[in-house]
Structure 1
Amino acid sequence: MEIETKPIWKGTIKPSSPTPKSLQKYQLSFLDQRAFTTFIPFVYFYTSNPKFSDSLKSKQLKKSLSEVLSIYYPLAGRIVANLYVDCNDAGVPFSEAQADCDVSQFITNPNPKNLEKFLPRGDFKDHCLAVHVTYFRCGGLAVGMLLSHKVADGLSLHLFVSNWSNVARNGGSGNVPLPKFDAAYAPPLDSISLRPAPTGFVEEEVARKILTFPAAEIAAIQERYTDGGHRPSRVEALRAFIWARYSSIRSDPSKMCIVYNSINLRSRGDPPLSRYHFGNVVFVSGVVAAAGDGVAKLMWNVREASKALDAGYVGGLKKRETQLEEIRDQVEASKVEERFLFSNVCGFPLYEADFGWGEPDRVRFVGLPYKNMAFFMDTKSGDGIEVLLQLSEQDMEKFLAHSMLKSNL
């Protein structure tokens, strides 16, 4: 169904206390510089809580955001030339709207296209964060956010939201774990600050579909792809499942394709980086899939590429410009014509975002403007996985027509 929203307020939320002069230049890391020039879009949906009116929710969200921005001070600044954030306390765009429908319609059976209506709208080119809140006639609400991928990754966003909701729920920031802002693990390189990332993705119109895999179905897929005594993880199994079906509908299987996998590096250092490390602490490994390569071979290659991102790799990020160029060289040498990205936020604290009126009933990733991507996230129960799939219109029709997917639609 089509929905209409009515704007009711638009402004800027600034930090409750000024950023010290010593912190007013937040240096981007090397991995920040090479991140997608886009925004990470998430929407948190909440059902009605009779103890909280819309006006009380609005006041609580704005006040707590102001307070938490004093901790996450770079988010209230502006990005300068893909080099650093000017932490000038300019503030975060914040808008509110009303929707003449019930929130349950977007919790139980969402249309990915409609999800975009719950995100901030405007030109946020040099901004780090923007927030949009929608109030439903049933008393529920949606909190939509855009976080610049130039300053942080998905885990950073959800840690921020968890801390923001903690401040709102407890009336202060006393119990909030402090984020770690430090680009020393991957110092910036001026020579590549304006060069594009080597992934080769370009913005275009895509078709989106949300597929839900319950625990029993995931276990069956894991069993199907168990090989040589190695039982794949839930994410590995679903990655193989999605890739097998995509491979079967490719218009030209002879085309070389590089399969990217986004990997969180925080736990791979020695010693590990803090789980509260803010920024792009992820690396996208790439594996070339040649014509005739089976799913088992791809799974093995992806697993080995992931293992290579070990403590030694993380410790050597200061010298890693050549590593990113290796992906470019690999793509050019193999004449890759297609790309597919798998990204995974399973295990992230998505459902800890209780602002005082209860945990979210559903968290949705809205998607990025690139085709051939699959984003995995836990269901609220934690035992299932939701996949946001993005393909061209033609490929999506073929993909959804596959008989083995009918139970997931």
Structure 2
Amino acid sequence: MKMEVHIVSREVIKPSSPEVQHKKPYKLSRLDQLTPTTYSTVIFFYRMHDVNSDDTTRTKLDRCKKSLTETLNIFYPLSGRVRGNRFIDSFNEGVPFIEAQVNCRLSDFLKHNEIESLNRFLPCQPFTKEPMDAPPILLQLTVFACGGMALAGAASHKIVDGVTSKALFSTWAAITRGDFNDIKQPDFEQASLFFPPRDSTPQSHLSLMETLWFTEGNYITRRFVFNAKAIATFKAMAIAGKPGVKTSRIQALTCFIWKSFIAASRAASDSPKPSILVEAVDLRSRTKPRMSYDSTGNAYWWATAFVNPMGAKTELPELVETLNAATALYETDYTQTLQGEDGFETMSEYCNQLEELFSLEKPDLFAFTCWSYLGFTETNFGWGEPFWVALMGKAGPAFRNLTVLIETRDGRGIEAWITLDEKRMAILERDPEFLAFASPNPRNLWDFNLCFINWSCMFTALKKRKRKRKLQTVCMLLPLYKAPHCCGNFRKQVRSQS
């Protein structure tokens, strides 16, 4: 059966407090001003968590919407609109919210294993150029036939980085489940104090950022999973024969992927181009004095590593050494040179260097960002934690080479969501060295979840039947009940239901 997603309703959710309308405008920071308006997306997949709960799907949806109005009282800038690349006002504009239904069970969707279809659960096309005054947040909640849910958020990178996005969803989830002790107040002022906005940002800088974010081409997104053993291998390879050299799991994995990209570029072109890796570095813990982790907006800048495959080694240890040097810069006084009014000169110098490099060399650019420390997999609305956090199926027609790293559900492995131009992706997907460690969109991570999802769906059906029908159905399910991968908790629930 073909999966079909039906839009049930579209509405705009606004803050419940009238006081929000009288808040002073939210100042953009200089980092916000340099960032294009485009939507970064995340999708939380929830199974039916508590089969004994009296909560209907309608009740959950209504509770979600009500708690969102309360959440927007706290995160009121995300309910407004950007004006002139300088500030946000009109906080009563609200957040577009889509409610949808899909004609299949969650387990059926996962069995098909199609990354491209993830966009059906999104409220917009991800990573596409958007107008400056586009809503900062878009939301869609899709209900599966079994009661499972996909909650998707699209956040404008103009004012929302990964930390801000996680703070929003954590607060919304805490309010929904009634855990008001788990709510932290966001800081809306620090970013613009540490990185003061400009009355006028040079057009050359804005054009450069547009170029870095958007390049015409056919971009493909794929999901590759690296288990803990593979990542440990990369780390060991990276420091082999280099006493005193240290690296993290993420840096080692990042450089392994970068090495594979360089190989794909070499295979795609007779004359390999210089290769640039830019990695997003969170500045909150690196400023002096230290910014609050609850600071909102964009509080990151790019660590930039450069290699020329024609004249430099591109083996893993050398790439790790190059990236470590780039990120280590942010552990020095360099971060302070980005701060304050004078920080504009440092950022301008960075932009000018990139402009010059792109005008002469036309290098390959690969962007990386790590979400593994954010804790998206812990976002609990009262239905349990998501069993899977996904990103997107396909970016817009003009985007860039981007890799997002996010932890697997068990916290030991890493999912790499890689967006590459079509030619390089085709080469990467056939690279034996890459595939020796990377599992392309594996289903095995979902096997346990599929089992639980199916049991949850069956329990829901049991609750709607008469007692004798319950007993009859349970008897029919005995082969599944005895399966070795079914844990004791499932069996206890079966006994309680019968």
What TM-score, normalized by structure 1, do the two folds share?
0.93
Mapping of residues 213-292 of structure 1, within 5 Å: 213-227=226-240, 228-229=242-243, 230-250=245-265, 251-252=268-269, 253-291=271-309, 292=311
2:106 paired residue among 103, 108, 117: 103
Correspondent of 1:79 among 75, 78, 82? 82
- Structure 1 position 165 matched with structure 2 position 183: no
Residue correspondence of structure 1 range 133-212 to structure 2 within 5 A: 133-170=141-178, 173=180, 175-182=182-189, 183-192=192-201, 195-198=206-209, 200-203=212-215, 204-212=217-225
Q: Of the two, which has the highest radius of gyration?
A: 2
Give 2:381's aligned residue.
355
| One-letter amino acid of the counterpart of residue 254, structure 1 | P
How well do the aligned residues superpose, as a CA RMSD in angstroms? 2.2
Deviation at 1:79, TM superposition (A): 1.0
1:388 paired residue number? 417
Local SS of the residue matching 2:369: strand
For 2:106 and 2:416, the matched residues in 1 are separated by 21
For 1:126 and 1:114, how far apart are their aligned partners in 2?
Answer: 25
Contact 1:163–1:177 (CA under 8 A) maintained in structure 2? yes
Is 1:14 aligned with 2:11? no
Question: Partner residue of 1:330?
Answer: 353
User: In terms of mean alpha carbon deviation, does 174-183 or 325-334 score higher?
Assistant: 325-334
Contact 2:124-2:154 within 8 A present in 1 as well: no
**C-alpha distance in structure 2 between counterparts of 1:175 and 1:259, whole Å:** 37
Are the equivalent residues in 2 in contact too, given 1:31–1:281 (CA < 8 A)? yes
After TM superposition, give the deviation of residue 371 of structure 1 in Å. 3.2
Deviations 1:40-85 (A, max 9, x none): 1011100013323210111011001000100001011011121111
- 1:40–1:154 contact (8 Å) kept in structure 2: no
1:79-107: per-residue Cα shift (whole Å, max 9, x none)?
11211111431110001110011223555
Distance 1:362 1:323, change over 3 A: same
Matched, 1:315 2:336: yes
Q: Which of 346, 371, 375 is 2:404 aligned to? A: 375
Partner secondary structure for residue 429 of structure 2 = helix
| 1:311/1:223 CA distance change after superposition, 3 Å | closer
**What displacement does 1:208 show?**
1.1
Structure 1 residue 315, shift from structure 2 partner: 3.3
Question: Which range is displaced more, 277-286 or 264-273?
Answer: 264-273
8 Å contact 2:284–2:290 — kept in the other structure? Answer: yes
Structure 1 window deviating more from structure 2 (138-147 vs 249-258): it is 249-258
Shift of the alpha carbon at 1:339? Answer: 0.8
Q: Please identify, of 207-216 and 308-317, the stretch whose mean Cα deviation from structure 2 is larger.
A: 308-317
CA shift digits 1:367-391 (9 cap, x unpaired):
7542322111111111110000111
Q: Is the 8 A contact 2:97 2:138 kept in 1?
A: yes
Counterparts in 2 of 1:267 and 1:400: CA distance versus 1, 3 Å: same
For residues 98-135 of structure 1, what are the alpha-carbon distances to aligned partners after superposition, in whole Å with 9 as ceiling and x for unaligned? 00112235557743321111111388752111110000
More displaced 10-residue stretch of structure 1: 88-97 or 192-201:
192-201
Q: Is 1:298–2:309 an aligned residue pair? A: no
Aligned 8 A contact 2:259 2:319 in 1: no
The answer to whether the Cα contact below 8 Å between 1:45 and 1:107 also exists between their aligned partners in 2 is no
**Consecutive unaligned residues in structure 2, runs of 5 or more:** 441-498
Residue 174 of structure 1: CA displacement? 5.6
Q: What SS is found at the alignment partner of 2:18?
A: coil
For the Cα contact (< 8 Å) 1:35–1:197, is it kept in 2?
no
Q: Secondary structure at the match of 1:189?
A: coil
- Deviation, 1:405, is 3.2
Give the letter aligned to residue 193 of structure 2. A
Amino acid at match of 2:235: Q
Counterpart of 2:134 (choices 118, 126, 138) is 126
Matched residues in 2 for 1:45 and 1:363: separation? Answer: 6
1:196 Cα deviation from its structure 2 partner? 3.1
Go from structure 1 to structure 2 and tell me whether the alpha carbon gap of 1:2 and 1:27 turns closer, same or farther (over 3 Å shift): farther
- Aligned residues, how many? 408
CA contact (8 A) 1:40 1:368 kept: no
The answer as to whether partners of 2:43 and 2:390 remain within 8 angstroms in 1 is yes
Matches within 5 A, 1:35-74: 35-49=35-49, 50=51, 51=53, 52-74=55-77
Change (3 A) 1:174 1:17: farther
Letter in 2 for 1:187: P
Paired residues of 2:20 and 2:73 also in contact (CA < 8 A): no
Unaligned residue ranges in structure 1 (runs of 5+)? none
1:397 aligns with 2:414: no
CA contact (8 A) 1:162 1:349 kept: no
SS across alignment from 2:377: helix
Cα deviation, 1:141-172, whole Å, max 9, x if unaligned, reads 0111111111120111011101110000016x
Higher helix share: 2
